Amino acid sequence: MKARWISGVAIVNIIFWIGSYLAYSSVDSIVRDSHNRVMSAGLDSAISELNERYPEELPPPGSVLLAQIMRRHASDLGETSRMNVVQRKGGACQVVNQSFIKEINDSKGVIPCTKLMLEAFLLGESDSYHSKSFYGEDVHSNLRRIQRFLKTSGDKRSYVLITETFTSEVRGEVNKLFFKIIVGVIGVFVLSVGFGWWGYKKARQQRKTAMENKATLQNVTSGIIRVNADREIVSISPYMLDMFGYEEESEIVGRCANMLFPEEHLEKDISSFNRLYLGQGTDEDRKITLEGKRKDGTQFPLKITRQIVNFPEGWQMLKVLDDLTDEYAQRARIERQVASMKRIGYMFRHDVANHMTPVQTAINFMKKTGKYSDKAISLASRESTNALMLLKSLSEQSRLAEQDIQDLVIESIDLNKLISDVKPEGIKLEMSDMGSIECNTGLLQSAYRNMFENAQKYAEVDPVAKVYREGDDLIFEDNAGGFACVDGQYDQKEADRMMSPRERGRVDVPGSGLGLFNIKTSVETHGWTFHHESKCGKSTKWIIKTK
Amino acid sequence: MDNKDKVSSEHILLDDQAAFHEAFDLAAMMLRIEDYEMYSFSQDLLEKLPPEANSYPRYLFIDWNLPGSDVVKGPLLIKLRQELEKIIPPPVPFPKIYVLSTSSNIEELKEAEEAGADGWIVKTDLEVVLEVWRDERNLTDEFKLWKV
């Protein structure tokens, strides 16, 4: 860019100087023509006078003749004239203005007699010339001064007085020409400066834009890559390196773009790539979603927006790559939250009402019949308790739904203390050393609290909970007679039903129907999984797999 | 009542919520409805319907949220109708089917009607709404919503 700007200014300057030279030459030529024309007129006049006065001989001694010629030097503009009075021994006189003489000599055929006459003047004793110059306001005043000079000097020789001056005609022409030259020169100068300034500003703006683009490119969180028709990577943006886990541009640039995609996604990329290059691409080809492959071989979702662009190096494909990992995680998180909130909303609308309807019916029954009924009291009591437990669980669920593992405070906690803290009265705890774990304290407390409550609620003997650790697995083993047992046998369908919200193990046992669901949600929010091993009639082993 | 060999009652409740069975009991007592039976699962009901009998239940109250029907409630109702049609031969009158729900969502009502339900009973204030239903049940054959 800098070179272009310098070239532009240089070209303008060259144009300026050429223009100036041409303008000067043009004016010079016109002035010269004008000078010659006026000079000829002046000579004509002088020679006419000579011929008239001295038709056949040289001027008599002591005579003074006047001839006018024009000067063309701009520095002598004005009314000032210079007179060269040349004294010649032997009574003749001569002009010593060499340029004039040369012009007289050059004016072949203009006035032959004049030439002859002047040549005759010049043939005298040139080494004894006496010359004096007079300067004055006008020709005639100078002439008078010369005549006085000749008179007082007693010189009886004849002179030809040649004056050089400007006529108003030439002066006007010259003025106009010089005005044009000046205007032209100023115009060219202004243009030159303007163009130079414009070029400078443009170059500066382009430089600024280039710097901004570079800064943008360095900060943009999209990868930008150029690929030629051979799928060779021509250039990449800095973010591309981070995105694909590389450290140096040289690890990518110059290599085939296939290295950025796993084998199974190459076909998708290449086919749409080819269609775009052939001008047959659709919007689907311009925007595709596929997996990218990092340097370490791991894969991640990518959105690629592509366009064929005519770069100075030729037609190439410009790709903008966006890592969708965060977007997918965010979307999954929102979907989870929406599903949770919908489930909670549904349970508020239906399940709370389902609990309250029997309560209301039981109360109405006693009110209308006026009788105390154990059955109605029991029903109202149990269902109102269940409704309260459901509300409590729903509250916990809504809190869980609002959270996600990214938002949770994860800290290293002492599992022994956490479990001991949430253990309710009335259940025996047999715990081996659980060590510590990275988790959200509130969520894990909720999970263990629910496991303890279930163990206690469903136990038909004195409830006992054995808590221990097997590698990365956290085990909670109860003695509540097994889980999901139908006719003494473990039933997978029953287990699935029990794991879903709103399902309770036994209707005669108070509960929200959300206990197991809460445990599962708390565990899975950590990215862990929740499993069980049921021994019908005996116990259930609840397993939290942290890896 | 669930343990009877055959269904012999005029009113049948199909609802998986045990507490609602108890509430229905109390409501029936208040309304002096005595011929009713209650089931938790549709299969239990179908198994106890007598083949080629002369009389069958006249009114079926079916919980809209039957077990396993959280998503597809209408299709399950259609399936139940089809099973009942296999068992109950014409010209025996086909029982009227009333959906029970705590909701009165218009889209769900429409789905129930299209699935062949004869009416929709919102089960809050149970005995009150059942009393209204009892008084009005024979007044029209069109799909009707009963709520308090």
Closest among A68, A123, A114 to A93, alpha carbons compared: A123
Give B23 to chain A, closest Cα distance, Å. 5
Confidence of residue A51 (pLDDT cuts 50, 70, 90): low
Angle at A277 between CA A271 and CA A280, to 5 degrees: 75
More confident site: A247 or A514: A247
Q: What is the pLDDT of residue B36?
A: 93
Q: Given a cut of 60, is residue A127 above it in pLDDT? A: no
A414 vs A402, which has greater pLDDT?
Answer: A414
pLDDT for the residue A139: 46
| Residue A32 CB contacts under 8 Å (≥ 6 apart), including other chains | A72
Q: Does residue A263 surpass a pLDDT of 60? A: yes
Q: Answer whether residue B136 shows pLDDT above 80.
A: yes
Q: Tell me whether A367 touches chain B (CB under 8 Å).
A: no
CB B30 within 8 A of CB B13: no
Is pLDDT of A47 > 70?
no
Which of B13, B15, B16, B17 is best to mutate for the A interface (most A CBs within 10 A)?
B17
- Interchain CB contact of A361 with B (< 8 Å): yes
Answer whether A354 sits within 8 Å of B124, measured CB to CB.
no
Residue-level pLDDT at A72: 32
Q: Do B22 and A375 touch (CB under 8 A)?
A: yes
* Res B73: pLDDT: 77
A102-130 average pLDDT score: 36
Q: Is the model's pLDDT at B48 over the cut of 70? A: yes
8 Å CB contact of A364 and B30: yes
- The residue among A254 and A525 whose pLDDT is bigger is A254
> Percent of chain A having pLDDT more than 90?
17
Instruction: Answer whether residue A63 shows pLDDT above 80.
Output: no
Q: Which residues of A touch B73 (CB under 8 A)?
A: none
Give chain A positions within 8 Å (CB) of B68: 497
Task: Tell me: pLDDT of A453 over 50.
Answer: yes
Predicted pLDDT of residue A484: 85
Kindly state the greatest CA–CA separation across chain A: 173
Q: Which of residues A330 and A114 earns the better pLDDT score?
A: A330
Which pLDDT tens digit goes with each residue over B113-131? 999 999 999 988 898 999 9
| DSSP letter string, A37-82 | HHHHHHHHHHHHHHHHH-SSSPPPTT-EEEEEEE---GGG-SS-EE
Q: Is A306 exposed, middle or buried (0-12, 13-18, 19+ CB in 10 A)?
A: buried
B16 vs A: CB within 8 A: no
Report pLDDT for A10. 75
Instruction: Give the lowest-confidence range in A149-163, A247-261, B65-79.
Output: A149-163
The Cα-based distances of A125 to A67, A92, A94 in angstroms read 22, 9, 10
Q: Tell me the backbone φ, ψ of residue A132, rounded to 5 degrees.
A: -145, 140
Please answer yes or no on whether A362 and B20 come within 8 Å at the CB atom. Answer: no
Judge whether A521 and A470 are in contact, CB under 8 Å: no
The 10s digit of each residue's pLDDT in A284-296 is 888 888 899 999 9
Q: What pLDDT score does A30 carry?
A: 58
- Measured N-to-C along each axis, helices B73-87 and B106-114 cross at an angle, to the nearest 10 degrees, of 30
- pLDDT confidence of residue B105: 86
More confident of the two residues B64 and A78: B64
Q: Mean pLDDT for chain A?
A: 72
Residue among A276, A347, A367 nearest A316 (CA): A276
- Contact call for A349 and B103, based on CB within 8 A: yes
Average pLDDT across chain B, whole number: 85
In this predicted model, what pLDDT tens digit does every residue of A307-338 receive, in sequence order?
Answer: 888 888 888 888 889 889 888 888 887 887 78
What local confidence, expressed as pLDDT, does residue B112 receive?
93
Distances (CA, A) of B118 to A2, A200, B55, B62: 86, 86, 19, 11
Lowest-pLDDT range of A218-227, A536-545, B10-19: A218-227
Which residues on neighbouring strands pair with residue A465, listed in sequence order? Answer: A429
Structure-token pair, residue A153: 């000097």
Mind telling me how many Å the CA of B26 is from chain A's nearest CA? 6
Integer CA distances (angstroms), B144 to A322, B98, B137, B138, in order: 55, 9, 9, 11
Per-residue pLDDT, A34: 52
Using a CB-CB cut-off of 8 Å, the residues of chain B touching A353 are 102, 124
Residue A127's closest CA among A86, A66, A83, A97?
A86
At residue A283, does pLDDT exceed 60? Answer: yes
Q: Distance between CA atoms of A423 and A418, rounded to whole angstroms?
A: 9
Averaged over A336-341, what is the pLDDT? 77
- Amino acid (1-letter code) at residue A173: E
Judged by a CB distance cut-off of 8 A, whether residue B26 touches chain A is: yes
Residue burial A170-183, b: 16+ Cβ < 10 Å; e: rest: beebbeebeeebee
Residue ranges of B 44-63 with Cβ closer than 8 A to chain A: none
Which of B13, B17, B26, B101 to mutate to test binding with chain A, by most A CBs within 10 Å of its CB? Answer: B26
The residue of chain B with its CA nearest to that of A359 is B23
A465 and A475 Cβ atoms separated by less than 8 Å? no
Residue A48: per-residue pLDDT: 57
Number of Cβ within 10 Å of residue A310's Cβ equals 8
Nearest CB among B19, B103, B125 relative to A350 is that of: B103
What is the rounded CA–CA span in Å between residue A348 and residue A353? 8
pLDDT for A2: 57
Task: Summarize the confidence of residues B121-146 as an average pLDDT.
Answer: 89
The alpha carbon torsion through A393, A397, A399, A404 (nearest 10 deg) reads: 150
Query: A524 vs chain B: nearest CA distance in angstroms?
Result: 23
Gap between the Cα atoms of A125 and A115, Å rounded: 18
Confidence of residue A444 (pLDDT cuts 50, 70, 90): confident
What span, in angstroms and rounded, lies between the C-alpha atoms of A341 and A205? 53
Which of the two residues, A165 and A350, has the higher pLDDT score?
A350
Q: What is the ipTM of this complex?
A: 0.88
The pLDDT of residue A152 = 60
pLDDT band at A85 (very low <50, low <70, confident <90, very high): very low
Q: Is the pLDDT of residue A282 over 70?
A: yes
Assess whether pLDDT exceeds 60 at residue A540.
yes
pLDDT tens digits, one per residue of A165-223:
444 455 566 667 777 777 877 887 888 788 888 888 888 888 888 787 777 766 777 88
Global model pTM greater than 0.80: no
Report which of residues B117 and A515 the model is more confident about.
B117
* Of A117, A136, A124, A146, nearest in space to A51 by CA: A117
Written as six digits, the tokens of A180 are 């044009």
Rounded-to-integer distance, Cα A40 and Cα A350, Å: 123
Average pLDDT of the residues in A62-67:
44
Nearest CB to B18; choose among A350, A361, A507: A507
State the average pLDDT over residues B90-98: 88
pLDDT exceeds cutoff 60 at A35: no
For residue A86, the model assigns a pLDDT of 38
Alpha-carbon span A530 to A540, nearest angstrom: 13
A362 close to B (CB below 8 A): yes
Residues in chain A: 547
Q: Which pLDDT score is estimated for A475?
A: 95
Nearest CA in chain A to B102: A350
Looking at the predicted structure, is the pLDDT value of residue A437 above 90?
A: yes
Paired with B13 in beta bridges are B38, B61
3-state secondary structure of B94: coil
Residue that the structure tokens 């049948």 belong to: B12
State yes or no: pLDDT of B60 exceeds 90.
yes
**Smallest CA–CA separation between B73 and chain A, in Å?**
14
Highest-confidence range of A51-55, A118-122, A336-340, B91-95, by mean pLDDT? Answer: B91-95
How many Cβ atoms from other residues are within 10 Å of residue A505's Cβ? 20
More confident residue, B11 or A503: B11
Q: Would you state the pLDDT for residue A171?
A: 55
pLDDT tens track for B99-114: 999 888 899 899 999 9
Helix extents (H) in A403-514: 415-422, 441-458, 492-499
Query: CB distance B123–A357 less than 8 Å?
Result: yes
Q: Residue A135 pLDDT > 60, yes or no? A: no
Most confident among A61-65, A358-362, A406-410 (mean pLDDT): A358-362
pLDDT-wise least confident of A206-215, A342-351, A501-510: A501-510
pLDDT tier at A114 (50, 70, 90 boundaries)? very low
Size of chain B, expressed as the number of residues it contains = 148
The H or E element that residue B73 is part of is helix B73-87
